[in-house]
Structure 1
Amino acid sequence: MAFRTILTVTGPYMGDGDLKLAADLCDEIGAHLAVLVVAIAAPPPVGEYAAVVSEDWLKERQADEKLLEKRVAAVSAFLANRALSADVSSEYPEVGSADERIGRRARYADITVIGPELLAGETLKSKVIEGALFSSGRPLLIVPRGTRPTLKPKRVLVAWDARLESSRALRESLGMLTAADDVRLVMVDPVEDEHHHGQEPGADAAAYLARHGVKVTVDRLPSSNHSVADVLRQHAVDGGAELMVMGAYGHSRLRERIFGGVTKSMLEDQSLPVLMAR
């Protein structure tokens, strides 16, 4: 699908680097930029000394709200100097509801973009990732530091495991894949049976892409005692990929956090921009 609205999220203590990145992507494809400024509220005091510290807590919240207003004004000034369609909104959620509030806003965009500044944080980063992936129904583009993102990539690696999440990522990125010069549909240790990849792993997905005019090549790779994430990253580097497309959280979030997984590894160590969907 075509991306007509791009959402990016910023916080009170962030600079304009991620805004510039998202604005440049909008310029590249003629999209509208939606900016969401988020400050996560300090939790209320509990326990024996709650009444004593409640006044300090109220002052902290008031200070947070002023910082939020200041950041909204700064973002508005930034956008005023760019010749593009844009809007800015703000949220001041409690930590427990932040991902849902962010995800709700992301439903009205075609894709959410996370840049290096947000990736360098902790709480807000995790809330944006979880909100975009679990509460929006929209894809997420993660752009690590030192990379040059584009929504018109010429070489794309698609990590395919035949799960629902991979199918969703494939469909969400179809417009980019159709315009690319080289798309690699990559499987690591594919299982050949009716419950996984079928008798010829990748054949059905490649045929689907080919019918859309995608120039696709199927690569079946052995893990050779390496992690799937490492194999994908290395293959992307070897093939000069500008973007990786993959499904996110094929297992539950809890299982990924405890035991690890491809999504968790990719979120912790990105070597190129990654588009995720679930």
Structure 2
Amino acid sequence: MSFKTILTVTEPGMSDDDLQLAAGLCEEVSAHLAVLVVALAAPPPVGEFAAIVSEDWLKERQADEKLLKKRTAVVSAFFAGRALSADTVSAYPEADWADETIGRRARYADITIVGPEVLAGETLKSKVVEGALFSSGKPLLLIPKGSRPTLKPKCVLVGWDTRLESSRAVRESLDMLIGADEVHLALVDPIEGETHHGAEPGADAAAYLARHGVKVTVDRLPSANHSVADVLRQHAVDCGAELLVMGAYGHSRLRERIFGGVTKSMLEGPSLPTLLAR
């Protein structure tokens, strides 16, 4: 799909670097930039000490709200002199519900951008990722530090595993795949058979993409005792990919957190811009 509205998230204390990056991507594809400024609120005190600490909690909340208002004003001023179409809104949810707040906002965008500064953190990063992936139905683009992101990539690597999440990721990135000079459909240790990759692994997915005009090549890769994430990272380097497209959380979030998984590994250390969808 084409990207007409792009969402990015920032918070008090952050620089404008992620905003600058998101603005550049919007200018590249003539998209509107929606900015959500978030401050994560501490939950209200409860129990027998509530009366004692409530005054301090109220003072902390008032200070947070002042910082949120100041950051929102700074962001608005950042776009004031630009020709870019943009809007800025703020939110002050409790930390436990911040992913839902971000996800609701992400429903009104085509994709959510997570820049290097958000990726370098932990709390806001997890809220943005989970909110976008689980509460919006829209894709997410991770942009690691030092990368050169583009929404018009010439070479794209698609991590394909036949799951619904992979299919969604391909559909969400289809316009970019059509515009690319080369698309590598990577299958790691593919299993033949009707319930897996079919008699010729990757053939059905490649045929689907080819009918859309995608210049696709199927790459069947052995893991050779390496993780799937590491195999995809290395193959992205080998083929000069500017973007990795893959499905997210093919297993439950709990299983990924306990046992690990491709999504978890990519979130911890993306080596190139990565589009995730589920």
Match of 2:277 in 1: 277
- Could you list the per-position Cα deviations for residues 99-148 of structure 1 after superposition, in whole angstroms to 9, with x for gaps in the alignment? 01100000000000000011111111100000000000000000000001
- Could you list the per-position Cα deviations for residues 63-115 of structure 1 after superposition, in whole angstroms to 9, with x for gaps in the alignment? 10110000000000001122110000011101121101100000000000000
CA distance in 2, matches of 1:142, 1:251: 20
1:10 aligns with 2:5: no
CA distance in 2, matches of 1:169, 1:259: 23
1:181 aligns with 2:190: no
CA distance in 1, matches of 2:18, 2:110: 17
The one-letter code sitting in structure 2 at the alignment partner of 1:24 is: G
1:32 aligns with 2:17: no
CA distance in 1, matches of 2:114, 2:11: 12
1:44 Cα deviation from its structure 2 partner: 1.7
Match of 1:123 in 2: 123
CA distance in 1, matches of 2:123, 2:185: 33
SS in 2 for 1:171: helix
TM-score, structure 2 length as denominator? 0.99
The one-letter code sitting in structure 2 at the alignment partner of 1:177 is: L
CA distance in 1, matches of 2:223, 2:125: 30
Match of 2:213 in 1: 213
CA distance in 2, matches of 1:201, 1:260: 25
SS in 1 for 2:53: helix
Match of 1:106 in 2: 106
SS in 1 for 2:220: strand
The one-letter code sitting in structure 2 at the alignment partner of 1:37 is: V
CA distance in 2, matches of 1:133, 1:196: 25
SS in 2 for 1:245: strand
The one-letter code sitting in structure 1 at the alignment partner of 2:260 is: G
The one-letter code sitting in structure 2 at the alignment partner of 1:139 is: P
SS in 1 for 2:59: helix
SS in 1 for 2:6: strand
1:211 Cα deviation from its structure 2 partner: 0.2
1:64 aligns with 2:64: yes
Match of 1:147 in 2: 147
My pick for the range that moved more, 191-200 or 139-148, is 191-200
- Could you list the per-position Cα deviations for residues 236-273 of structure 1 after superposition, in whole angstroms to 9, with x for gaps in the alignment? 01111000000000000000000000000000011100
1:47 Cα deviation from its structure 2 partner: 3.1
Match of 2:267 in 1: 267
TM-score, structure 1 length as denominator? 0.99
CA distance in 2, matches of 1:244, 1:77: 33
Please give the root-mean-square deviation of Cα atoms over the aligned residues, in Å: 0.6
The one-letter code sitting in structure 1 at the alignment partner of 2:139 is: P
CA distance in 2, matches of 1:20, 1:178: 27
CA distance in 2, matches of 1:122, 1:183: 32
Percentage of identical aligned residues = 79
1:55 aligns with 2:55: yes
- Could you list the per-position Cα deviations for residues 202-242 of structure 1 after superposition, in whole angstroms to 9, with x for gaps in the alignment? 00000000000000000000000000000000000111100
CA distance in 1, matches of 2:257, 2:122: 15
Match of 2:234 in 1: 234
The one-letter code sitting in structure 2 at the alignment partner of 1:72 is: T
CA distance in 2, matches of 1:219, 1:33: 35
1:46 Cα deviation from its structure 2 partner: 2.8
CA distance in 1, matches of 2:263, 2:237: 18
CA distance in 2, matches of 1:82, 1:255: 45
Match of 1:255 in 2: 255
The gaps in structure 1 that reach 5 residues or longer are none
- Could you list the per-position Cα deviations for residues 31-77 of structure 1 after superposition, in whole angstroms to 9, with x for gaps in the alignment? 00000000010122233322101000001001101100000000000
CA distance in 1, matches of 2:123, 2:227: 27
Match of 1:20 in 2: 20
Structure 1's consecutive aligned runs of 4 or more residues displaced over 3 angstroms after TM superposition are: none
The one-letter code sitting in structure 2 at the alignment partner of 1:165 is: E
In the alignment of these two chains, the number of paired residues is 278
The one-letter code sitting in structure 1 at the alignment partner of 2:245 is: V
My pick for the range that moved more, 69-78 or 81-90, is 81-90
